[in-house]
Amino acid sequence: MDAESQERFREFVESRSGALLRTAVLLSGGDRHAAEDLLQNALVKVADRWSRIDEPEAYVRQVLYRQQVGRWRLKWPRREVAVAEPPERADDGGEGAAELRVVMRGALARLTARQRAVLVLRYFEDLPEADVARMLGCSVGTVRSTTHRSLARLRALAPELAALGPATAGVAPPRGISPVEVRP
């Protein structure tokens, strides 16, 4: 990589790593350390191809999702249990929003990696089903059925989301949480 490409890559990492890390945290079920590893591995892969990439953020996100899919297919899945962490920064939503994020993060951690990836792509990244299917290498029907089953399981795992849900109070949910996820 030449000096100019190296500097552009460094600037990209500095400016977009926060947003990419938030996505990686969601994909890893709230495990920040696993998310940091996931993002670092993705950035290493992207650095090798940096000069040939037209849309760097889209490319990095696709590498993140594909790496997470690769983790599903491991012969020996990880045996670690992810725990919910308090939010890292204050949010406009107040204490209820922080509690909602902790509950949501815990419930997401109990979903399978595939279910988490589909929900993150559909509701956090706000991608259409066709794009999700393309990124994950499956059919649109698989995305639809996985989304349906994932939301049903999320509701079963965390019924308290309905009680906490700002959607019932007319308040917008915190960033990264879809109103669909808090319905009873």
Q: How confident is the model at residue 139 (pLDDT cuts 50, 70, 90)?
A: very high
Tell me the average pLDDT across 159-167. 61
Nearest of 119, 17, 157, 136 to residue 71 by alpha carbon: 136
> How far is Cα 8 from Cα 182, in angstroms, rounded to an integer?
40
> Domain map of the chain by residue range?
1-78, 93-166
- Residue 107 tokens, joined: 């419930």
Residue entry with tokens 């009873």: 184
How does the average pLDDT of the chain come out, rounded?
78
Q: Which pLDDT score is estimated for 78?
A: 52
In angstroms, how far apart are the furthest CA atoms of the chain? 55
* The CATH number of domain 93-166 is 1.10.10.10: yes
DSSP-based three-state secondary structure for 80 = coil
Mind giving me the DSSP string for 156-177? HH-THHHHH-TTTTTPPPPTT-
CA atoms within 13 A of residue 111's CA, in its CB half-sphere: 31
Q: Which pLDDT score is estimated for 15?
A: 94
Residue 118's identity, in one-letter code, is V
> How far is Cα 89 from Cα 13, in angstroms, rounded to an integer?
21
Please report, for residues 51, 67, 87, 160, the alpha-carbon distance to residue 74 in angstroms, rounded to integers and kept in the order given: 31, 11, 30, 33
Q: Give the least confident one: 26-30, 76-80, 167-171.
A: 167-171
Q: Which pLDDT score is estimated for 169?
A: 36
